[in-house]
């Protein structure tokens, strides 16, 4: 997680704990307390993630409600499938996160 007080960028990785809804919903609470201008969340599902579909549906519900209430959150859902080439997947994730960091945290500010 990084922030400059204006933007918050976070990465949540679902591996062992099966509660993706909590990893989305907590940013709603955080926004209510801090009023960031922008929240960027990278939500990554690994092959070890195992939960009820209702948990993913609840996370999606939170995202929808936050958008309806004008919470400035941008969620990138990324899923690493069983048998995937982890090096390739990691490079893709790092590339996307780096682009987001560079666009949300300009060096000249």
pLDDT at 109 over 60: no
Give domain status of residue 15, yes or no.
yes
Q: What is the count of structural domains for the chain?
A: 1
In a domain, 40, yes or no: yes
The mean pLDDT of 96-103, rounded to a whole number, is 96
Burial of residue 78 (number of CB atoms within 10 Å: 0-12, 13-18, 19+): middle
Q: Quick check: is 105 in a domain?
A: no
Give the pLDDT of residue 93. Answer: 94
- What global pTM score does this model have? 0.88
Residue 106 in domain: no
pLDDT tens for each residue of 36-49: 999 999 999 888 87
In angstroms, the CA 39 to CA 47 distance is 26
CATH assignment of the domain containing 32 = 3.40.50
Residue 104 domain flag: no
Residue 9 lies in a domain: yes
Host domain of residue 27: 2-99
Task: Give a yes or no: residue 18 inside a domain.
Answer: yes
């Amino acid at each position: 997680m990084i922030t400059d007080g204006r933007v918050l960028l976070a990465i949540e990785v679902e591996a062992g704990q099966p509660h993706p809804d909590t990893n989305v919903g907590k940013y709603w609470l955080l926004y209510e307390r801090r009023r960031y201008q922008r929240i960027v969340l990278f939500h990554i599902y690994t092959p070890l993630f195992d939960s009820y579909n209702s948990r993913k549906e609840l996370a999606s519900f939170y995202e929808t409600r936050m958008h309806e209430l004008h919470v400035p959150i941008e969620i990138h859902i990324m899923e690493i499938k069983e048998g995937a080439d982890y090096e390739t997947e990691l490079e893709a994730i790092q590339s996307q996160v780096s682009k987001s960091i560079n666009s949300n945290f300009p060096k000249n500010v």
